[in-house]
Structure 1
Amino acid sequence: MSRSLLRCLAAAVTVAGALTVTPSAALAHGGPTPVVVDTARGHGNVVSFTFDDGPNPPDTLHLLAVLRKNHVKAVFCLVGDQVKAHPEVVRRIAAEGHTLCNHSLHHDNLSLLTPEQVTADLTETSTLIHQAVPWANIAYFRAPYGSWGQSPQIAADLGMQPLGWRFDIEDWVPPGADVLAQRIRDRLTPGAVILMHDGGGDRSQTVDAVAQVIPELRAQGWRLTLPLRRG
């Protein structure tokens, strides 16, 4: 099944160097839970920007420049294959203060895998991220296509909070930056976690849309925050 078809279906039904945390230890310290979070931190007009399928130069680098100019911190959901190909971009993401998220090794449908296979996949992905940025905290995990299967509990056991979204701007078939920006305006609700993409293809239109809407949101009193720490 193609990646585009899986995404559409998901939208319709809307370690060397890697630290693992047992469920009891995580809960004892207020750590991750298996509950998928889709809500931004704070109250009122808050929103979280999250970006999937990177790192992907040059689009990720352009996006980082837009976020830096506007003093916005976001979550980057990294695919292991892309991390391995572009570790220097992962280092840039982390160095600029953004939050890292494990988005699986190959962007597979994890609901089709056994728990042992999911654990191996997430662990290897985290290992690749830590090879690029040994000091980084991988705060979240997001299942490709929103096909969670048994991955939320496994991610929590590995110290990562499962991260969902309120809406996806459907930028995997780029319709133009103006259309994408309008989708953000039309679908935005207080507390929303927004799913966008900086990887998986040419995402220059997504970056341009983000550059359009951030000043507008700020002018309207919106605050751009990170997602909740735990479910």
Structure 2
Amino acid sequence: MILTSRMIRRLLQAIAVLGVIGLASGTAYAQAPLATADIIDTARGHGNVVSLTFDDGPNPADTLRLLSVLRQHRVKAVFCLWGDHVVEHPKVVRAIAAQGHTLCNHGMHHDDMGAWTPAQIEADLLQTSAAIRLAAPGVRIPYFRAPFGSWGQTPTVAARLGMQPLGWRLAVADWETPGTPELVRRLTEGITPGAVVLLHDGGGDRSQTVDAVDTIIPMYRAQHWRFTLPARPQRHA
């Protein structure tokens, strides 16, 4: 049986409802033991470390080329997935997971959740996670990033669902498509030790971003920088 996009959306709506019921009865997804409501914006490790994160995918043309670049340079990154795009391009989600990259929930429809109630946020995040797991069964989704950086009450809800809120220290406005040389300039002038960098592989033509990433990785490697995942949260006493 071939599932159409409409059938998948109906299935996801049902899964989201069941997920909310599960939360009320204590049978929802188990929390990650280290998830907190703190917004993480630092890279793991000490010294010259940096984390690359990519929002708004999957986007077949640019995401697949980005995966090739990251594989060539042996870099692992975080992909913050837009639920609608996950439903449209499940094979790309599987490709991301198969290469060992980390997945992040970025909302089902890329809505501004800043003024949403916890119940509204839960329903959206559960639907998004269900879409990701339908595309790539068994994957972990350890992070959540709020669309537009509009956090509202999302950090608390995400942590309760086992996802660490993931922020950033550097965004270079790659959605402006200013040209690869300009993106390289913004990155090299903006990256500092321990930074989580926000880039995009979806939401438009991101070929310039992919080219910029392909340029900066060897530049920083030559200066003995390491590309790591975001830091783990600190538990509060």
Contact 1:140–1:162, Cα closer than 8 Å, also in 2? yes
Question: Do structure 1's residue 164 and structure 2's residue 170 form an aligned pair?
Answer: no
Scaled by the length of structure 1, what TM-score is found? 0.89
Residue matched to 2:77: 74
Residue matched to 2:212: 209
Deviation of residue 228 (structure 1)? 1.3
- Residue 180 of structure 1 aligns to a residue whose secondary structure is helix
1:43-97 Cα deviation digits (max 9, x unpaired): 0000000000000010000000000000000000000000000000000000000
Residue matched to 1:175: 178
Residue matched to 2:38: 35
Residue matched to 1:223: 226
1:189-218 Cα deviation digits (max 9, x unpaired): 100000000000000000000000000000
- Residue 76 of structure 1 aligns to a residue whose secondary structure is strand
Residue matched to 1:54: 57
Residue matched to 1:21: 30
Specify every segment of 5 or more residues in structure 1 that has no aligned partner in the other structure, as ranges.
Answer: 1-14
For residues 84 and 210 of structure 2, the distance between their equivalents in structure 1, rounded to whole angstroms, comes to 22
- Residue 197 of structure 2 aligns to a residue whose secondary structure is strand
Contact 1:20–1:157, Cα closer than 8 Å, also in 2? no
Identity of aligned residues (%): 61
Q: What is the RMSD of the two structures over their aligned residues, measured on CA atoms?
A: 1.4
1:152-202 Cα deviation digits (max 9, x unpaired): 010000000000000101011100011001111000110000000000000
Specify every segment of 5 or more residues in structure 2 that has no aligned partner in the other structure, as ranges.
Answer: 1-14, 20-27
Alignment equivalent of 1:100, drawn from 89, 98, 103: 103
What one-letter code is carried by the residue in structure 1 that aligns with 2:104? C
Scaled by the length of structure 2, what TM-score is found? 0.86
How many residue pairs end up in the alignment? 211
What one-letter code is carried by the residue in structure 1 that aligns with 2:149? G
- Counterparts of 1:61-210 in structure 2, within 5 Å, are 61-210=64-213
What one-letter code is carried by the residue in structure 2 that aligns with 1:81? D
Larger Rg: 2
What one-letter code is carried by the residue in structure 1 that aligns with 2:29? T
Residue matched to 2:8: none
Contact 1:48–1:191, Cα closer than 8 Å, also in 2? yes
Deviation of residue 229 (structure 1)? 2.6
- Residue 211 of structure 2 aligns to a residue whose secondary structure is helix
For residues 165 and 29 of structure 2, the distance between their equivalents in structure 1, rounded to whole angstroms, comes to 15
Residue matched to 2:25: none
For residues 40 and 83 of structure 1, the distance between their equivalents in structure 2, rounded to whole angstroms, comes to 26
For residues 48 and 167 of structure 1, the distance between their equivalents in structure 2, rounded to whole angstroms, comes to 10
Deviation of residue 230 (structure 1)? 2.3
Residue matched to 2:11: none
